[in-house]
Amino acid sequence: MVSLGQYMRGLRRLTFAWVCGDKVAALRERRLMAFRLLQGEAEQLTFTRAGTKWTVDVEGGVVPKKLFIRANAFEELRLALTAWLKDNGYINATRNTIVDIGANIGTPSVQLALETGLNILAIEPIPANYDLLVRNIAQNGLDKQVQCVRAAVSMRPGTLKMAVPKERATCEVIEDGMQPGFGKLSPDIPIIEVPSQRLETILNNFGVSSERIAVVWCDAQGLEREIIESAPGLWKAGAPMYLELWPKGINAHGGTDAFLTTIGTHFKAFVMISDMIKLGPQAKPRPLSELRKIVDSIGDSHDDALLI
């Protein structure tokens, strides 16, 4: 529920934007105030932004808020990546499928499907997220283009334990004896069991050959090493992998040394997404020998890269 202080600060920002004639800022502040006022008053919200229809959990964290406030959340990253992939031959007539691991409620699957026209295999383990993922795909008419799997991707098929904070973009697999990357577990954070499968098993079950994969989009909160190891044939076939470099998550799931060793086994180079945003398709791959320095420099923050 919004506090009086938050409401008054938002009202001041809205008033200032109108006085200055900044219609974009005024619209943003108005939507932010509306979203905050709905917290504690509604469970779900359905709205349309930039022609895309979304249903979100009002208390679901940063992703629902960004979608409601902005016409197109995470657009810059997505468009820079897909432009680079197209120009460098990874998206073509043969490679026409994107695998989205940690698909959340449909970002980026819904947006990628609409923007690229490619087939999407969306994988999401958290039941509440998965239900909204399926709904958002259906209400945008993407049922035939996007297929959904409710599972965590891991080297350990069967089930895994996952922590589900209120900020559902940070849901994370829990390792025995380890605290998750997002911070200490507390009694108010539910721990649930979710089904888990190897990535190669999922692809086989859906009849998707490695040669058809244009990119694997992975947002797995530090579990990327296991995901890579669960489908060695995919990388051998040349599929690239977009991932978040998040040292806290990496350290909670095996550590930097194991992470970099796995990457060195299956990939030859990487491209920073920040380079793609700045330079476009001309952004150059970097040798894997530079990756440790980048990971070490990130600290408590995170960055994004494409492994090739």
Residue 4 has a pLDDT of 63
Helix (H, G, I), strand (E, B) or coil at 107: coil
Q: What structural domains does the chain harbor? A: 4-69 (no CATH), 75-307 (3.40.50.150)
Name the token pair of 26.
Answer: 């005024």
Residue 24 has a pLDDT of 78
Please list, residue by residue across 218-235, b when 16 or more beta carbons sit within 10 angstroms of its beta carbon and e when fewer do. Answer: bbbbbbbbbbbbbbeebb
- What residues are paired with 196 via a beta bridge? 152, 158
- Residue type for position 146: V
pLDDT of the chain along its 308 residues, tens only? 556 666 567 677 767 667 787 777 778 888 888 888 888 899 999 999 989 999 999 999 999 999 999 866 678 999 999 999 999 999 999 999 999 999 999 999 999 999 999 999 999 999 999 999 999 999 999 999 999 999 999 999 999 999 999 999 999 999 988 899 999 999 999 999 999 999 999 999 999 999 999 999 999 999 999 999 999 999 999 999 999 999 999 999 999 999 999 999 999 999 999 999 999 999 999 999 999 999 999 999 999 999 99
Look up tokens 């599929």; give the residue. 239
Residue 273 has a pLDDT of 97
Name the token pair of 262.
Answer: 């796995």
Helix (H, G, I), strand (E, B) or coil at 132: helix
152/102 Cα distance (integer angstroms): 8
Residue 40 has a pLDDT of 86
pTM comes to: 0.93
Name the token pair of 162.
Answer: 């996952």
Residue 9 has a pLDDT of 75
Residue 36 has a pLDDT of 85
56/43 Cα distance (integer angstroms): 9
Instruction: Tell me the pairing of strands 152-153 and 191-197.
Output: parallel
Residue 17 has a pLDDT of 66
